[in-house]
């Protein structure tokens, strides 16, 4: 960024802060206004010209390690409720934690978040959220993740966390992580995802970001990501992990994201399928900052497999189970120790995912 651009960003941030101070405006998500945000520094062209319905050329043959258990959560902050979620992650024996953004709020130091998460003794990845103000700053969240990947001897497949868009493979599980910068018409994020997945051969793939579309969460969040990025992930058979809403929701198997089309051949809400052209999405954002009530209208939509809003917790997915590299088990457990997806009424302790 040029010196002139730095000056402009600084003036914009000062103007925003002044308006908030004078008006006394507050936000339900923060006690201080966000600074002006720099553009996403991730790689990728503005338009790759790829058809989201036919671009994927991978073979999906590379397995994860057997019984690879991963915890997913988001919207954590750094307080006691987040630490309860971390204790749950540890007690469930997860080998990796993946956070879908908003690690810190109200300018809480990145060091506080890392101090808590380091106690897990396992690696963790994250996507940048809109409250992660320090992400691109020296000594901030992005730099902290860069440093930890090096300490864990994990080399990203592309980019690095501090650039917001990066991809990384851990024990055979492929991740494409994108930041929160940009609006629904932004083409940079979907372009990055498509380039990382176009020829990818991993059986299990995760697209991770913070924000949602209105139809992909049961909380209060409106359209913020655009549908193209979801369709690119679906065509590659990649599961979409989101945060932002401070609720939990998991879809059934989906064959068209914008239309929320449920796969007739794999419609059981607790027996999901992934393959080129089909996947599921979830929002697991009960990581510790607050819970929000489900929207009654959106929570009743027919594409949901399970929804929840009562307590903090995490979604756990164990890949390559029962000696089958194309089989996985998942469940959402709250910090009270109750599995809420699948709900108790089903008599199940996990839902099944099959890679076809």
**DSSP string across 114-130:** HHHHGGG-S-EEE---T
Q: What is the rounded CA–CA span in Å between residue 287 and residue 275? A: 29
| 160 Cβ neighbours under 8 A, 6+ residues apart | 142, 146, 149, 166
> 44 lies in a domain?
no
146/200 same-domain check? yes
Residue 280, domain member (yes or no): yes
Question: Do 9 and 115 have their domain in common?
Answer: no
Kindly state whether residue 47 falls inside one of the protein's structural domains: no
pLDDT tens digits in sequence order for the chain, 356 residues long: 443 443 343 434 344 333 333 333 333 343 444 444 434 433 333 456 778 788 999 999 999 999 999 999 999 999 999 999 999 999 999 999 999 999 999 999 999 999 999 999 999 999 999 999 999 999 999 999 999 999 999 999 999 999 999 999 999 999 999 998 888 888 999 999 999 999 999 999 999 999 999 999 999 999 999 999 999 999 999 999 999 999 999 999 999 999 999 999 999 999 999 999 999 999 999 999 999 999 999 999 999 999 999 999 999 999 999 999 999 999 999 999 999 999 999 999 999 999 99
Q: Are residues 73 and 158 in the same domain?
A: yes
Give the residue numbers spanning the domain of 83. Answer: 53-355
**Count of domains for the chain:** 2
10 Å CB burial of residue 194 (0-12, 13-18, 19+) is: buried
Q: Which of 125, 279, 273, 278 is nearest to 210 (CA)?
A: 125
Q: What is the CATH number of the domain that holds 57?
A: 3.60.21.10
| Same domain as 102, residue 24 | no
């Amino acid at each position: 960024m040029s010196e002139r651009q730095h000056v402009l960003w600084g003036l914009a941030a000062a103007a925003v802060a002044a308006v908030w101070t004078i008006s006394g405006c507050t936000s339900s998500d923060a006690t201080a206004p966000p600074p002006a945000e720099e553009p996403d520094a991730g790689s990728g062209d503005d338009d790759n010209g790829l058809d989201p319905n036919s671009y994927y050329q991978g073979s999906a043959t590379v397995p994860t390690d057997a019984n690879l258990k991963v915890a997913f959560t988001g919207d954590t902050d750094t307080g006691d409720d987040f630490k309860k979620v971390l204790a749950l992650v540890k007690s469930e024996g997860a080998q990796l934690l993946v956070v879908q953004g908003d690690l810190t709020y109200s300018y809480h130091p990145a060091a506080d978040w890392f101090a808590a998460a380091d106690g897990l003794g396992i690696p963790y990845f994250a996507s940048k959220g809109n409250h992660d103000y320090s992400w691109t700053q020296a000594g901030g969240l992005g730099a902290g993740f860069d440093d930890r990947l090096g300490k864990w001897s994990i080399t990203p497949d592309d980019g690095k966390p501090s650039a917001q868009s990066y991809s990384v493979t851990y024990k055979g599980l492929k991740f494409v992580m994108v930041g929160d910068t940009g609006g629904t018409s932004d083409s940079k994020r979907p372009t990055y995802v498509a380039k990382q997945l176009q020829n990818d051969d991993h059986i299990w793939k995760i697209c991770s970001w913070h924000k949602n579309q209105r139809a992909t969460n049961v909380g209060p969040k409106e359209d913020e990501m655009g549908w193209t990025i979801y369709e690119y992930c679906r065509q590659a058979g990649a599961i979409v992990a989101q945060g932002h809403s401070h609720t939990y929701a998991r879809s059934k198997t989906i064959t068209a994201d914008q239309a929320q089309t449920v796969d007739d051949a794999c419609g059981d809400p607790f027996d999901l399928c992934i393959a080129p052209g089909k996947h599921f999405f979830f929002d697991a954002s009960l990581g510790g900052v607050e819970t929000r009530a489900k929207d009654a209208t959106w929570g009743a939509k027919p594409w949901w497999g399970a929804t929840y809003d009562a307590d903090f917790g995490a979604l756990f997915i164990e890949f390559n189970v029962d000696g089958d590299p194309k089989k996985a088990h998942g469940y959402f457990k709250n910090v009270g120790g109750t599995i809420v997806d699948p709900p108790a009424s089903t008599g199940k302790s996990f839902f099944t995912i099959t890679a076809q």
